[in-house]
Amino acid sequence: MQARLSAFLASVVLLGLASPAQAQRRDEEVGRIGNVAIFRVFEGARFDRCFGLLPGRLGGARIFWAVGREYTLTVNGVNPPGDKPVNIRTPGGPINARGRTDGGQGRTIIPLNGQQVERLIQVRGNLEVTVEGTTFPYPLQGVTMQQVFQRIEDCAMRNNR
């Protein structure tokens, strides 16, 4: 009996030690605008940022923002992993940017500066992002990119308290 109790206590201690050191990410849908879903992201139990999910192949495009940080666009990954040239088609001309792909089914992460965001806000209809020669279309239906950005900012401001 005491051997079982010792084994049970040892397993409880080991389970406690095996808990992940990193916070668990949790995405929670908080609304929609047109065909774009708006999510807030928790890292552990704390709110971290919001994003808009534009539907498309392999997980769609995601536009992230948090108060005090720059916008980040993530799209499908293109192998091999590493730095990638990115072209985003906008009415005001292409945005040439750099992204980083993790590889496998990873994502291409593209930080956006203020000038790039101002141009991206002009998009209506389809968002087209080309990563190292591969083009990914993300349709906007019943919504403008300006409205999407506004909803993402509203989400982050509301949850940043």
Rounded CA separation 41/84 (Å): 26
Span 2-7, mean pLDDT?
46
Span 114-135, mean pLDDT?
93
pLDDT in tens, 9-46: 334 333 334 444 556 999 999 999 999 999 999 999 99
Decide if pLDDT at 62 tops 90. Answer: yes
Query: Is residue 100 included in any domain, yes or no?
Result: yes
Query: Is residue 2 included in any domain, yes or no?
Result: no
Please tell me the predicted confidence (pLDDT) of residue 105: 63
Decide if pLDDT at 80 tops 70. Answer: yes
How far is residue 97 CA from its own chain's centroid? 17
Residue type, 46: R
pLDDT in tens, 132-157: 999 999 999 999 999 999 999 999 99
Q: Is residue 77 left, alpha or beta, with left meaning phi > 0 and alpha meaning psi from -120 to 50?
A: beta
Query: Is residue 127 included in any domain, yes or no?
Result: yes
Q: How many domains does the chain have?
A: 1
**Domain containing residue 71: CATH number:** 2.60.40
Please tell me the predicted confidence (pLDDT) of residue 18: 41
Please tell me the predicted confidence (pLDDT) of residue 104: 60
Span 68-85, mean pLDDT?
90
Asked whether the beta carbons of 53 and 73 are under 8 A apart, the reply is: no
